[in-house]
Structure 1
Amino acid sequence: MGGPSHQPEISATDLQQLSASLVKRQRLDAPSWDHRSALLTGRMWVSELEPGMQLRLADIQDRFGLTSQAVLPAGIKIALVIAGNAHVRYGDFEASLGPQATHTGLLVTLPSATNFERRGQAGDDERTLTLSLSPAWAARHGYQAVLTASPDAPQAAYWSPSAGLLALASRLFTLQPTDIGHPAYRLQLVGFAMALAGEALAVACPSPNMLTSSHKPDRRLARLMSMVDSGQARGVTQAELAHQLGMSLSNLQRRFHHQHGEALGSFLRRHHLSLARDAMAREAMSIETAAALAGYTSATNFATAFKREFGSRPSDHQKASAFTPCQKIVINKALDASL
């Protein structure tokens, strides 16, 4: 393997940039790989659906037999392999997933940072959907007990997807280049991710009586997320957002961190920079236009913030073809008051 391919290529740099928000200390290696050729062909993209919830879709072929090692942060991982095979290890737990294996679905709870390994075979195809849920997301939705039940080591549970969920999963891979970023496709991603979490978590926490949420609904934060979704928060300072929400800045920052497990400033910066990155990948857009889209008046400041956030320059993400094999989409679903 490793010869010329007419499929979109995914390089080591692509993989590292794509995984930056999901893993730490990633290492990539493969037999006979010259460290210059693309490791995979196909498509891979990550969607941040709401704070603490990220969905990765991979429709790939392994060119060299890639072994990927990394450290995963604490949280919940839900994997579904609908085609091909995936061989993974979380800590000391190993699993093979896929239609030809015994299981297609796996849920792993990670109470702390955990070593991860994925082993591929040259020539193997794979269609995988992986949902990453942070501890803050789990707590917000009443699933903190899943992470605290066994605080010393990862816990794994196999699960079987419903026919309806499989149909939804397959449909997500039929997108065209212009679909990425379209509101209708975003809604499909959000709906699928919630259904995926619901089916898989039902295995780990089958009794509703086990679930208690440490977070009460926060209507002002729900309004904030709606403003972020609609673009009303772009170029607006945190102090101005707090004023529009009828809160003090310190109260807004404290409540956001308590609800979502991260600083408001970090979330807003990543969100707007990611919107600009995705727009550059889809459209022929100048750096100045991308900077304005992200809420920056200075292209230089935008480039500096972009490099700090993603480890690459804005120009590295400017549209070079009709389809970019690796894309990262930030999609923020307004938090309903019922959550």
Structure 2
Amino acid sequence: MQLSPEPMPQSFAPRSETFAVASKPPAKPQLQARTGGGQHHIAGLVEMREIKPGLVLQRMRVQDLADKETQGTVLPGVKIGLVVGGRSDFWLGPHSFRLGPQAGAQAGAMLVAVAEPDAYRRQAHRGQAEHKLVLTLLPDWLEQLGGEDARARARIQAFGARHLARLDWRPSARAIALAHQIVHGPERPGLIEQLYQEARVMEIVAEGLAVVAGEAPPQAALSLREHRRLRELQGRLDAGEFEQGGLAEIANSVGMSVSSLQRSFKAFAGEGLFEYLRGRKLDAAREALAREGLSVGQAAALAGYGNAANFATAFKRRFGCSPSALRARG
């Protein structure tokens, strides 16, 4: 592990360290950088934006260029984080986190309260991708929570006051899809897209705070054996082993009925098996549009759609922009 004693460049430091959020957001609410391979250890899009006073959105869509550890300070606030692509390795104080599909989960999520300043470290791995959304609810924002549900408000504020308190959160398929749309949305969203983005953020915040308030519906628990079996299946799915197979063939390969597999896989991944497979194909189509210059029709075929219009609708629902707009950004 390479330790970097020097601070990151001023233009980049607060944005690459996703959890290192100042208690008062910058004077300019829109902070964005696209880094190159010359002087930084990550390349891609990193953005921080104040959605509302005290509510800060940060998103990363980057690739590590070197094995390197960077350090910072995380300041008070409740952190709601989802890693929807690649892997994220970091530490908050003494606690380590490894989140993301390449860390063994379809989408890694965290709910953490930071009540006082503490150390933050991020470990970069050469060639590793990291697609991450972090929403920071600053203390002032939490104090202004309204409504008549005093019990829920008290639970949320009590959680925010417990330094490095963590809650186990399995985000819903809806929350995962919303996070995908935010992370993979346009780099410079227009007015209407910003409004959609803010609506997605508030829906994720509502789900996260429902967990804190104890109001989220319980999700089916999996045994260690079931979790291991489904994680192995996920690896086979991601490797394309069942490209031509149906649900019955997949279920038979793991010794489960179709209904049991659907139920267990949703508890494991936050979405049904069919939705997961469709999402992976859309992810592959997005990469092909962005990196290989495929036409929209070719990308639709790659994702298994015979109709380009249906593909465009599903694509925009998942990523927040049309395939033609992504291809034009190229």
Q: Give the distance between the partners of 2:183 and 2:118, measured in 1 at CA.
A: 29
Q: Show the counterpart of 1:65.
A: 67
Q: Show the counterpart of 2:174.
A: 164
Q: Give the direction of change, closer, same or farther, for the CA distance of 1:50–1:144 in structure 2 (3 Å limit).
A: farther
Q: Give the distance between the partners of 2:160 and 2:182, measured in 1 at CA.
A: 34
Q: Show the counterpart of 2:163.
A: 153
Q: Give the distance between the partners of 2:62 and 2:16, measured in 1 at CA.
A: 15
Q: Give the distance between the partners of 1:144 and 1:65, measured in 2 at CA.
A: 43
Counterparts of 1:114-263 in structure 2 under 5 Å?
114-141=118-145, 143=153, 145-149=155-159, 151=161, 153-177=163-187, 180-207=188-215
Q: Show the counterpart of 1:101.
A: 103
Q: Give the direction of change, closer, same or farther, for the CA distance of 1:66–1:12 in structure 2 (3 Å limit).
A: farther
Secondary structure of the residue that 1:159 maps to in structure 2? coil
Q: Give the direction of change, closer, same or farther, for the CA distance of 1:140–1:86 in structure 2 (3 Å limit).
A: same
How far off is 1:173 after superposition?
4.0
Q: Is the Cα–Cα contact under 8 Å of residues 76 and 108 in structure 1 kept in the other structure?
A: yes
Q: Give the direction of change, closer, same or farther, for the CA distance of 1:144–1:86 in structure 2 (3 Å limit).
A: farther
Q: Cα RMSD (Å) of the superposition?
A: 2.9
How far off is 1:55 after superposition?
0.6
Secondary structure of the residue that 1:164 maps to in structure 2? helix
Q: Give the distance between the partners of 1:149 and 1:197, measured in 2 at CA.
A: 15
Q: Give the distance between the partners of 1:168 and 1:117, measured in 2 at CA.
A: 27
Q: Does 1:12 align with 2:9?
A: yes
Percent identity of the aligned residues? 24
Q: Is the Cα–Cα contact under 8 Å of residues 80 and 111 in structure 2 kept in the other structure?
A: yes
Q: Is the Cα–Cα contact under 8 Å of residues 135 and 144 in structure 1 kept in the other structure?
A: no
How far off is 1:48 after superposition?
0.7
Q: Is the Cα–Cα contact under 8 Å of residues 76 and 115 in structure 2 kept in the other structure?
A: yes
Task: Flag structure 1 segments of 5+ consecutive residues without an equivalent.
Answer: 1-10, 25-34, 209-321, 324-339
Q: Show the counterpart of 2:21.
A: 22
Q: Give the direction of change, closer, same or farther, for the CA distance of 1:101–1:118 in structure 2 (3 Å limit).
A: same
Q: Give the direction of change, closer, same or farther, for the CA distance of 1:46–1:173 in structure 2 (3 Å limit).
A: same
**1:166 partner letter:** I
Q: Give the direction of change, closer, same or farther, for the CA distance of 1:19–1:118 in structure 2 (3 Å limit).
A: closer
Q: Show the counterpart of 1:225.
A: none
**1:72 partner letter:** V
Query: TM-score, with normalisation over the residues of structure 2?
Result: 0.51
How far off is 1:23 after superposition?
4.1
Q: Deviation per CA, 1:178-236, whole angstroms, max 9, x where unpaired?
A: xx24111111221121111112222222149xxxxxxxxxxxxxxxxxxxxxxxxxxxx
Q: Show the counterpart of 1:8.
A: none
Q: Give the distance between the partners of 2:208 and 2:163, measured in 1 at CA.
A: 19
The higher-RCO structure (CA 8 Å, 6+ apart) is 1
Q: Which runs of 4+ in 1 moved over 6 A?
A: none
Q: Show the counterpart of 1:75.
A: 77
Q: Give the direction of change, closer, same or farther, for the CA distance of 1:65–1:23 in structure 2 (3 Å limit).
A: farther
How far off is 1:38 after superposition?
1.9
Count of residue pairs brought into register by the alignment: 188
Q: Is the Cα–Cα contact under 8 Å of residues 69 and 123 in structure 2 kept in the other structure?
A: yes
Q: Give the distance between the partners of 1:146 and 1:49, measured in 2 at CA.
A: 20
